[in-house]
Structure 1
Amino acid sequence: MRAAAASLMLLLLVGGCSQHPPAVPSAVARPLRVMSVNQCTDQIVLALLPPERIASVSWLSHDPAGSLMAPAAARVAVNHGQAEEVLRQAPDLVVAGSFTTPALRGMLRRIGWPMIEVDHAQTFDDIRRTVRQVAAAVGEPARGEALIADMDARLAQAARGTTRHPRVAAWDGSGFGAAAGTLYDEVLTAAGARNVVREMGGYSYGRPDIETLLKLDPDLIVQGAAVRSGGSLGDDVTRHRVVREHWRGRTLRISQAYYVCGTPMIGEAVLKLQGEMAR
């Protein structure tokens, strides 16, 4: 966001004219004040560090609809990814994601503020890599390996528990979101499902419709659901009379918080989905 970069530049210029200009911290091996400005990196930081070592996490992580770590996030301060907040909170390390405002990341790089940039995880291997990256940066490699080991143990448990492979049509809150190469597809596959979206020629993200579902004729329907009360337009398909009758007892939901971000908690999502499919 240009406003963020402009604000940071203004504050630096103002600080440079004062007797006490804002100090850019030096990189340290074990930062004591870590600031995460991305919803997905928030959850890794929260899993790795105690609250007293976290300067703040993004406001999005306080929303259980997209964050599995919302209770932990409620124990630390909040940021909105603003340049002023970086200067005010003065973290030893900023943890940013690939979707974090490019202007803010670019400005922090130019002034030399300690920062790591974490790619969005689309596979289990990506999750292992990003957890190790963040864990190394915050000085907690052993804790990172423990999180990965727990994830791998759950994935191994799911692999042992796979006895059937139902054909599943899955979407997120608004459109078919489980295309090949997505984390959602990885979760389905690890849980033992065969993702029928892979059978759709010329796949494009779009709202599910009755005709498509009838043509695919999946054994189960899985709908990504936000943890919020009330309905949405994304529920229209599952409320349709044909769907209710044809897939009676064969429609289930999985919270988007489980797969919107690649975190080591993904093993829990796989086991949960596997259990739901078995029932």
Structure 2
Amino acid sequence: MLKKLLSFLLAAICAIALGGCMSDAPQTEGGYTVTDARGKTLNMKEKPKRIICTYVFADEILLDLVPHDRIVAMDKWIHDPGLSMAVESAKDVTTEVDNSPEHMISLRPDLVVVGESQIKMVQSLESAGLPVFVYKDAKLVKDIPDEIRSLGKAVGETDRAETLIAEMESRLRDIEKKVAVIPENQKRRVMLVLRFGPIGGEGNIFHDVLTRAGTIDVYNDVRPPALSGNGTSMILSKEEFVQSDPDMLIMGNWSQGGAFKDSEQQLQEMYENPAYSSMRAIRDKQVVILPQRNVNCLSHHVTEGIETVYQAIYEGKGSAS
């Protein structure tokens, strides 16, 4: 009889213990850990519901990763059609973050997403008690899938991230097929001109977009990769620009909120400047003006930019001047 009583009590104690363990499960359900670009591990109790994102290209990805009611603020440039590919998508996220710790604290975020290029702000944010995820900045098209995957892990949307990557890679393959049939001697020799001057060259997104769109970036004709960087400006001098003599200019239009001249003004000044009169693109008025977002995008929307450049150059679907 005593043995039966002891057995009953032991079973009851086990049941209570197991029940207690089971009641804790919902509190950890959905929890996960994620390691950022610094190698720092964040312990997320649940998917973040009040996200601040401070970089326009990460904003573009985030808008397609999570329901927008989980985003409390984004970089101001997400609403600028000169740079952002997601102006329409971002209409319901109206708060623009000013990158000050005081402003971010007031928004009560449960996750702040910043890029490696913004690493200087991290210490002040974490000192204020904000959870910060630093993602690895993409520099070329091939880097973007890892950026998407990283952000997907941070916000608990890994499946959605893989879907975005698959869609992006499918569109890239479609573009590659179109470009593959262009004979090498029929590829257009182009130079990209942004608000601060002619730019391009191997190792940056501008060159990557131009070449993936089936053009030849003449930047390297006058400044080979070995001469780029080394503390010098990436912007070509007037002499280098004239020497490059492209068949066509692509003007990436973005005044950066009125801080620079727009492409129409830049182009008119080129037409009126005798120093450029010998250039074929200027002489023959072979110029296409596109929003800068099409040549300077580091999100999955880069495929749209490459397609737009291809269509403008080879199908005449662009603003020619």
TM-score by length of 1: 0.80
Which one-letter code corresponds to 2:165 in the other structure?
I
**Map of 1:183 onto structure 2:** 205
For residues 253 and 46 of structure 1, the distance between their equivalents in structure 2, rounded to whole angstroms, comes to 27
Which one-letter code corresponds to 2:296 in the other structure?
V
For residues 262 and 245 of structure 1, the distance between their equivalents in structure 2, rounded to whole angstroms, comes to 30
Tell me how far 1:216 sits from its aligned partner.
Answer: 2.1
For residues 237 and 243 of structure 2, the distance between their equivalents in structure 1, rounded to whole angstroms, comes to 12
SS in 2 for 1:99: helix
For the Cα contact (< 8 Å) 1:26–1:114, is it kept in 2?
Answer: no
* Equivalent residues in 2 for 1:17-166, closer than 5 Å: 27-76=44-93, 77-100=95-118, 102=120, 104-110=121-127, 113-162=130-179, 163-164=182-183, 165-166=187-188
**Map of 1:273 onto structure 2:** 309
Match of 2:284 among 247, 252, 255: 247
Percent identity, aligned pairs only, is 24
255-264 or 181-190, which deviates more? 255-264
Tell me how far 1:98 sits from its aligned partner.
Answer: 2.2
For residues 60 and 271 of structure 2, the distance between their equivalents in structure 1, rounded to whole angstroms, comes to 31
Which one-letter code corresponds to 1:199 in the other structure?
D
Q: How many residues are aligned here?
A: 252
**Map of 1:194 onto structure 2:** 216
Tell me how far 1:245 sits from its aligned partner.
Answer: 5.5
Flag as ranges the 4+ runs of structure 1 deviating above 6 A: 227-230
- Structure 1: tracts of 5 or more residues without a match: 1-24
Match of 1:237 among 260, 270, 277: 270
For the Cα contact (< 8 Å) 2:222–2:240, is it kept in 1?
Answer: no
For the Cα contact (< 8 Å) 2:115–2:134, is it kept in 1?
Answer: yes
Change (3 A) 1:117 1:221: same
64-73 or 260-269, which deviates more? 64-73
267-276 or 40-49, which deviates more? 40-49
For residues 141 and 66 of structure 2, the distance between their equivalents in structure 1, rounded to whole angstroms, comes to 22
Tell me how far 1:111 sits from its aligned partner.
Answer: 5.5
Tell me how far 1:223 sits from its aligned partner.
Answer: 1.4
For residues 294 and 111 of structure 2, the distance between their equivalents in structure 1, rounded to whole angstroms, comes to 26
For the Cα contact (< 8 Å) 1:35–1:56, is it kept in 2?
Answer: yes
Change (3 A) 1:254 1:110: same
Tell me how far 1:158 sits from its aligned partner.
Answer: 1.2
For residues 33 and 188 of structure 1, the distance between their equivalents in structure 2, rounded to whole angstroms, comes to 37
**Cα distance per residue 1:31-56 (max 9 Å; x no partner):** 11211122222222112122111111
For the Cα contact (< 8 Å) 2:164–2:300, is it kept in 1?
Answer: yes
Change (3 A) 1:158 1:208: farther
For residues 108 and 70 of structure 1, the distance between their equivalents in structure 2, rounded to whole angstroms, comes to 27
Tell me how far 1:192 sits from its aligned partner.
Answer: 0.8
SS in 1 for 2:197: coil
| Structure number with larger C-alpha Rg | 2
Which one-letter code corresponds to 2:118 in the other structure?
T
**Cα distance per residue 1:228-252 (max 9 Å; x no partner):** 898466433256573575232x211
For the Cα contact (< 8 Å) 1:28–1:92, is it kept in 2?
Answer: no
**Map of 1:218 onto structure 2:** 246
For the Cα contact (< 8 Å) 1:175–1:205, is it kept in 2?
Answer: no
Tell me how far 1:276 sits from its aligned partner.
Answer: 0.8
**Map of 1:21 onto structure 2:** none
For residues 221 and 45 of structure 2, the distance between their equivalents in structure 1, rounded to whole angstroms, comes to 50
TM-score by length of 2: 0.70
Match of 1:168 among 176, 190, 195: 190
**Map of 1:7 onto structure 2:** none
Tell me how far 1:184 sits from its aligned partner.
Answer: 0.8
For residues 271 and 131 of structure 2, the distance between their equivalents in structure 1, rounded to whole angstroms, comes to 48
SS in 1 for 2:88: helix
Provide the aligned C-alpha RMSD in A: 2.6
- Structure 2: tracts of 5 or more residues without a match: 1-41, 317-321
